């Protein structure tokens, strides 16, 4: 059974804290993605990675960074959390072969609240 896991389901942090969200997939997928989900806005891409140590900015990268040191793990970092980063964060992965047609597999999400 394919699986994408995220380190926390719920997280509460204070303004200014450094926050790490981790995602692990066991499907040997090359592509990994971080999205944030907000009511009325759908999912918006923050960053994605198509290989180890490779990353590209998505549509809303400001205030975020990422790290991919191993193929199975993709971390999202909030360098200095702010209240407007309160959101649901979803990680996903997919095969690189046949690219755009590939199904993305999603993690359960992390609901982050920044106070």
Partner 1 sequence: AQTVTQSQPEMSVQEAETVTLSCTYDTSENNYYLFWYKQPPSRQMILVIRQEAYKQQNATENRFSVNFQKAAKSFSLKISDSQLGDTAMYFCAFSRSSNTGKLIFGQGTTLQVKP
Q: Which residues bind partner 1 (CB under 8 A)?
A: 4, 31, 33, 35, 40-45, 48, 50, 56, 58, 90, 92, 94, 96, 99-104, 106-109
Q: Which residue has the tokens 């997928």?
A: 29
Q: How wide is the angle at C-alpha 89 spanned by C-alphas 48 and 37, nearest 5°?
A: 95
> With respect to partner 1, which residue has the nearer C-beta, 19 or 107?
107
* Smallest distance, partner 1 to C-beta of residue 18, A: 27
Cα separation of 111 and 86, whole Å? 8
CB of 81 to partner 1, least distance (A): 24
Judged by CB, which is closer to partner 1: 59, or 79? 59
Q: Which lies closer to partner 1 via its Cβ, residue 35 or residue 74?
A: 35
Cα–Cα dist 101/43, whole Å: 18
Nearer to partner 1, 17 or 56 (CB): 56
Cα gap 105→99, rounded to integer Å? 14
Report d(CA 41, CA 21) in Å as an integer.
21
User: What is the nearest approach in angstroms of partner 1 to the Cβ of residue 107?
Assistant: 7
């Amino acid at each position: 059974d394919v699986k994408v896991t995220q380190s926390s389901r719920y997280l509460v942090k204070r303004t200014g804290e450094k926050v790490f969200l981790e995602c692990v997939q066991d499907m040997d997928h090359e592509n990994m993605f971080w999205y944030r989900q907000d009511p009325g806005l759908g999912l918006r891409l923050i960053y994605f990675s198509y290989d180890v140590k490779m990353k590209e900015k998505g549509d809303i990268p400001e205030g975020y960074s990422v790290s991919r040191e191993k193929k199975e793990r993709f971390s999202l970092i909030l360098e200095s959390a702010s209240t407007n980063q309160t959101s649901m964060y979803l990680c996903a992965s997919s095969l690189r072969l046949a690219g755009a047609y590939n199904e993305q597999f999603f993690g359960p999400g992390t609901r982050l609240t920044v106070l």
